[in-house]
């Protein structure tokens, strides 16, 4: 098996937030709620939303586990409700763009 490339079909279609707790320009509660309310379970016919899947510096990946989110990381959600964590380092050096 060989490595592959991966990109979104719409290229920049992720809804995302910068995790910057404790700063005046940091993560607003309403923005965090937008991400929380978009995360969905990928297994099962209902694909239930999982409110609360992103809080207190932790991102719950449905059916997989929990990731720690560090200041400067970006948390995004794709069109199907799947959470994506991109590190501060990768954002700074890895070809990602954001608003």
Q: Is residue 32 part of a domain?
A: yes
Q: Is residue 72 part of a domain?
A: yes
Q: What is the pLDDT of residue 23?
A: 62
Q: Is residue 98 part of a domain?
A: no
Closest CA to 49 of 69, 33, 70, 67: 33
- Complete edge-to-edge strand list for the sheet that includes strand 58-61: 54-55, 58-61, 65-68
Residues 43-50: contacts with CB within 8 Å, 24+ apart? 47/80, 47/81, 49/81
Per the structure, the count of domains in the chain is 1
Q: Is residue 86 part of a domain?
A: yes
Please give the model's pTM, rounded to 2 decimal places.
0.83
Q: Give CA separation, 18 vs 45, 61, 87, in Å.
A: 31, 18, 10
Q: Is residue 99 part of a domain?
A: no
Q: Is residue 2 part of a domain?
A: no
Confidence of residue 27 (pLDDT cuts 50, 70, 90): confident
**Domain that includes residue 24, residue range:** 15-93
For the stretch 49-89, pLDDT in tens is: 888 899 889 999 999 999 999 998 999 998 889 999 999 99
């Amino acid at each position: 098996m060989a490595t592959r490339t991966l990109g979104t079909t719409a290229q920049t279609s992720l809804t995302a937030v910068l995790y910057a707790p404790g700063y005046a320009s940091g993560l607003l509660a309403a923005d965090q709620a937008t991400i929380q309310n978009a995360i969905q379970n990928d297994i099962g016919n209902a694909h239930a939303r999982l409110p609360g899947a992103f809080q207190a510096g932790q991102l719950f990946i449905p059916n997989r586990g929990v990731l720690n989110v560090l200041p400067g990381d970006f948390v995004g959600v794709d069109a199907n409700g799947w959470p994506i964590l991109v590190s501060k380092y990768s954002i700074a050096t890895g070809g990602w763009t954001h608003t």
